[in-house]
Amino acid sequence: MNTVLVILNIVILFALIIGLFMMQKKHVSFSKRVFAGLGLGILFGLIIHLLYGTTSEVTSTTIEWFSIVGSGYVKLLQMVVMPLVFISIVGAFTKVKLSKNLGKISVYGIGILLVTTGIAAAIGIGAALGFGLEGLQIQAGEAETARNVELTERAAMVEDLTIPEQILAFLPANPFADLTGSRPTSTIAVVIFASFLGIAYLGVRRKQQEQAELFAKIVDALYAIIMRIVTLILRLTPYGVLALMTKVAATSDYEAIVNLGKFVIASYVALIAMFLIHLVMISLAKLNPATYVKKGMPALTFAFTSRSSAGTLPLNIKTQTGGYGVSEGVANFVGPFSLTIGQNGCAGIYPAMLAVMAAPTAGINPLDPSFLITLVLVVIISSFGVAGVGGGATFASLIVLSVMNLPLAIVGLLISVEPLIDMGRTALNVSGSMTSGILTSKITGDFNEKVYNEKTSLDHVVEV
C-alpha cells in the first residue's frame, strides 16, 4: 500500500512539472513560473505532511524520489559554481575597463559587503535583545544532544586554529584540489588563485600584448561556454523550486517551530529589517527599490528554497548583468567574492544573535558596550572565508563564539528550526551580494541605468 501511495505522489509531482512546462510553452514569464513552483510546492508539501506526517515511510520515500528533481537541480548548479567562480574572476581582469577601475571595484565591492555585514550584526544584536532571547530558555532533546556532540568535534578544529593558521587556510596550496571543493575554504582559495592569475595577465599585457590577447580570447570563450551551461541549468529553476519547497513543507517539524517560535520570529524580523536596509541603500543610489525587488525575486526565491548562496551564484550574476545593468566585470568580481566575504545573513545576523543569547550563560552582560562593539568587529572579521553552502552559518557561529569565549552548545540547540531560518539567511546573503554589485557598479561608472529601468523580466536572460 505504501508503494502505491509513493507512486501516486510521484505521479502528482510529474503532473505539476508538466503544468509548469506548459506555462513555459504559453510564454508565461520566468518569474511567474518560479513563483508558481514555490506556491505549488508549499501546497503539495503541506498536503503530504497532513496526510502522512513527517516521520512516515511514505513521506520519507516520497521525498527521497523528489530529491532527484530538487537536490539534483542544486547539484547541477553546484557543478558549475567552481568553474564559474574561477572564470568570472579571471574574466573580470581581462575586461579593459575593469582593469582601470580594479582598485575601486575591490575597495567598494568588498567594503560594502563588510559594512553591510557589520550593520546586519548590529540588527541581529538588537533583535536578540529586543525579544529577550536567552540560551538558558532552550531545552535540549535527543536531536539537539546528538547535534552538540557533532559540533564539539567540529569546534575543536576551529578552536585549535590560531588566527595566522586560519589566514593560511585561505591560501591555495593546491588550486586544482580546491577547484573540487575539497576544503571548507576552497571557494576563497579559488578566488585568490584566480585573482593572482588575473594580476599576472595584467602584467603580461603590458609587455607581451600578443600573448595577453590570446589568453583573453581563451578566457572569453570559456566564459561564454560556462555561461551557456548556466543558462541551460537555470531553465530548470521552476521545477527545482517546486521539488525543494515540497520537501521543506512536508518534512518541517512544525511543533519544534512553535516551541522555538520566539527565536524564529526574532530571526525573521532581523532578516527583513536588513533587507529593508538594502532597499534604502538602493534608494540612496537614486534607483527604484521596487524594480530591485521585482527583478531580483527569482534569484531570492531560489536562494530561499535551495539554502545555497553558492548554488544561486549563476542566477545572481545573470540577474545583476541582465536585470540590473551591472557591468560583467563588477558582477563577476563581486558575486564570487560574496560567497566567502560578508554574508549578511549567515555571517552577520545569525552569529551575532547566538552570541547575545549565549552571553548570560557565561556570566557576561549582553548590554555591556565593550562586549557589543567587540562582537560586531569579530563578526565582520570572521565573515572572511565562510562557505556559501549549507553549514556556512554554523561555521561562522562556531568561529565567533570561540573567539568571544562563549559556550558553543547554543548552536546545536537550534537544529530543529535551522532549515527554516537558513532559508531567510541565504536569501539575505544573495540580496547583499546583488546590492553590493549594483552600488559598486554605479560608483565606478560601469552601471547601465537604462537596463535597470527596463520593464522586462529575466526571460530574455535565462531563455536565450
CB 399, CB 242: distance < 8 Å: no
Contact between 426 and 347 under an 8 Å Cβ cutoff? The reply is: no
Is residue 184 situated within a structural domain?
no
Does residue 150 fall inside a structural domain? yes
Number of domains observed in the structure of the chain: 1
Q: What is the CB-side half-sphere exposure of residue 404 using CA atoms within 13 A? A: 36
Please calculate the CA angle 226-242-15 and round it to the nearest 5 degrees.
110
In a domain, 415, yes or no: yes
As a whole number of Å, the end-to-end CA separation of the chain is 45
- What pLDDT, on the 0 to 100 scale, is given for residue 463? 55
pLDDT (0 to 100) of residue 100? 62
Instruction: Burial-class residue 81 by CB neighbours within 10 Å (0-12, 13-18, 19+).
Output: buried
In a domain, 38, yes or no: yes
Q: What crossing angle do the helices spanning 418-443 and 392-403 adopt, rounded to 10°?
A: 90
Distances (CA, A) of 281 to 112, 285, 430: 10, 6, 15
Is 215 inside a domain boundary?
no
* Domain assignment present for 176: no
Domain that holds residue 429: 2-81+101-165+233-458
- Which residue in 422, 366, 420, 432 sits closest to 394, CA to CA? 422
Give the pLDDT confidence score for residue 160 in this predicted structure: 57
Answer whether residue 186 is part of any domain: no
**Domain with 288 in it: what CATH number?**
1.10.3860.10
What pLDDT is recorded for position 436?
Answer: 95
In the prediction, which pLDDT does 112 show? 93
Mean pLDDT, consecutive 10-residue stretches, the chain (464 aa), reads 86 94 87 86 91 87 91 84 85 67 82 93 93 65 48 52 67 82 75 87 87 90 87 86 88 73 90 96 94 91 82 86 88 83 88 89 87 91 64 74 79 72 91 95 89 73 54
**Do 318 and 462 form a contact (C-beta atoms < 8 A)?**
yes
Residue 312 lies in a domain: yes
